[in-house]
Structure 1
Amino acid sequence: MTLIYGHRGAKGEAPENTLASFKHCLDHGVRRCELDLHLSRDGELMVIHDPTLKRTTGRGGKVVEHDAQALVTYDARKGGPGWVSPCPIPQLEELFQECAFDHWQLEVKSASRTRAATTVLAIRELAQRMNLLDKVTITSSSREVLRAALELTPDVARGLVAEYAWLDPIKVAQSYGCEMLALNWTLCTPERLLKAQRQGLHVSVWTVNEPALMRRLADFGVDSLITDFPGLASATLGNR
């Protein structure tokens, strides 16, 4: 059975990476999600995709230039589907408290060695404190982040986010002891899928928004797919 992950909550149906978006995902019976993390100036884990605030909040500057206390007051509805009420940037801790997902893909964007270390340690501390260690996977396309996770938080599951195949994604994933391969769907050939699964990798493909593509990838046998439209995906794959 192909599992469904909501992309940034339910990016196509509610403002991305906001509490409203993750609740919308759960409301459609989709109990797995993918999200993006950046550190605030005071080292809190903030749920936002871009390193800058402009696209989703209209504000200038970078996430890391603002304290968490300020960031959680910024409305992140800009550029997303219409939404009536304000949707502040959440802290990961708030989502952990408010949303009972079965599994979380926590994508950490590329970072310096120091920031990568700080981020993975913060994730582990929070997940352990909230008894969610077995429900999170740290994912990244950054070698720096995966190296930090392997060395500093070996008890937290890891996943490689692969957008290009200029290096063999399966080999790269294995070199960092990953359990998951988050693969751009265009790279997901039946041959690569089978090879990855034979080597023990959970293959999660992104971002899959067309029903025909959802069905095709499910027929291939992907372990999970990440979609902007969890409600649509649930309806499309629900009877399989």
Structure 2
Amino acid sequence: MTLIYGHRGAKGEAPENTLASFQRCLEHDVRRCELDLHLSRDGELMVIHDPTLKRTTRHRGRVAQHDATELVQFDARGGGPGWPHPCPIPRLAELFEQCPFEHWQLEVKSASRTRAARSVLAIKALVERYGLQDKVCVTSSSREVLRALNRLTPELSCGLIAEYAWLDPLKIARHYNCDLLALNWTLCTPERLLKAQKQGLHVSVWTVNEPALMRRLADFGADSIITDFPGLARKTLVQP
């Protein structure tokens, strides 16, 4: 059966990467999620997609220029559909405490070697604190991040995010000892999917929002899809 991951929670229904969005995902009984991480200036893992604040909070500057205590004051409703209440940028620790997901894909954005190392070590510490070692896969399209995961946290499951076809994603995933391949849906041919699975990779396809595409990828044998509409995906793919 093809599993369902909520993309940034339930991005199509609530402001992305906010507690409200992840709670909405859980309300649909979708118990797997994907989210994005950046480090605050004081080294806390903050759940936000962009390195800058403007799109989702209307504030200026970069996430890395603010301490976590400042960032949690910013209303992140700009990143999605209308919502009646303020939605602060959450700390990852807050989600670990409040959202009982069965599995998390934690995407670390492109980073310098130093920030990549700080990020993966911070994830390791938090995952250990909450006992989630078997429920987390750290993903990235950044070679620096994948290198840091291999070097500093080999005990954590890791995954490659592949968006473009000009590099062989299977070769890169093998090179960095990945367990998961997060594949842009435009790259997910039956041939590539089967080859990846034979290589031992869990193939998670993103971002899949149309029921017909959901069904097609499930028919191909995709291990999971990542969707902005987890409720719709559940109705489409899960028999009552």
The TM-score normalised by the length of structure 2 is: 0.99
- Give 1:79 shift: 4.1
Q: Deviations over 1:63-96 (max 9, x none)?
A: 0000000100100001411110100000000000
Q: Tell me what 2:31 maps to.
A: 31
Q: Distance in 1 between matches of 2:118 and 2:229?
A: 32
Partner amino acid, structure 2, of 1:158: C
Tell me how far apart the structure 1 counterparts of residues 176 and 119 of structure 2 sit (CA, whole Å): 17
Match of 1:211 in 2: 211
| SS of residue paired to 2:117 | helix
Counterpart AA for 1:114: T
Residues 102-159 of structure 1 deviation map (CA, whole Å, 9 limit, x = unaligned): 0000000000000000000000000001100110000000000000001100000000
Equivalent position amino acid for 1:217 in 2: L
Residue 171 of structure 2 corresponds to 171
In 2, the alpha carbon distance for the partners of 1:19 and 1:79 equals 13
Separation in 1 of the partners of 2:119 and 2:79? 27
- In structure 1, C-alpha distance between the alignment counterparts of 2:165 and 2:43, rounded to whole Å: 33
1:126-145 alignment, distance < 5 Å: 126-145=126-145
Aligned counterpart, 1:160: 160
- Correspondence for 2:40: 40
Does 1:77 find its partner at 2:77? yes
- 3-state DSSP class of the match of 1:110? coil
Aligned residues between the structures: 240
1:208 Cα deviation (Å)?
A: 0.1
Residues 202-233 of structure 1, C-alpha deviations (whole Å, 9 max, x = no match): 00000000000000000000000000000100
In the alignment, structure 2 segments of 5+ residues that lack a partner are none
Task: Please report how far the alpha carbon of residue 238 of structure 1 lies from its aligned counterpart in structure 2 after TM superposition.
Answer: 1.1
8 A Cα contact 2:6 2:33, kept in partner: yes
Write the mapping of 1:1-240 to structure 2, written as runs, cut at 5 A.
Answer: 1-239=1-239
Please give the alpha-carbon distance, in whole angstroms, between the structure 1 residues aligned to 2:108 and 2:79: 22
Q: CA deviation at 1:239?
A: 1.5
Aligned AA (1:120): V
Supply the RMSD in Å over aligned alpha carbons.
Answer: 0.7
Question: C-alpha separation between the residues in 2 aligned to 1:221 and 1:61?
Answer: 42
Determine the C-alpha separation between the residues in 1 that align with 2:123 and 2:49.
16
Aligned equivalents of 1:215 and 1:143: distance in 2? 32
Partner secondary structure for residue 77 of structure 2: coil
- The letter for the 2-side match of 1:238 is V
The unaligned stretches of length 5 or more in structure 1 are none
Deviations 1:169-216 (A, max 9, x none): 001001000000000000000000000000100000000000000000
Give the deviation of 1:163 after TM superposition: 0.1
Q: Quick one: distance in 2 between partners of 1:117 and 1:146? A: 10
Q: Given that residues 73 and 89 in structure 2 are in contact (C-alpha distance below 8 angstroms), is that contact kept between their aligned partners in structure 1? A: yes
TM-superposed CA distance for 1:167, in Å, is 1.2
| Aligned structure 1 segments of 4 or more residues deviating by more than 6 angstroms | none
CA distance in 2, matches of 1:80, 1:180: 27
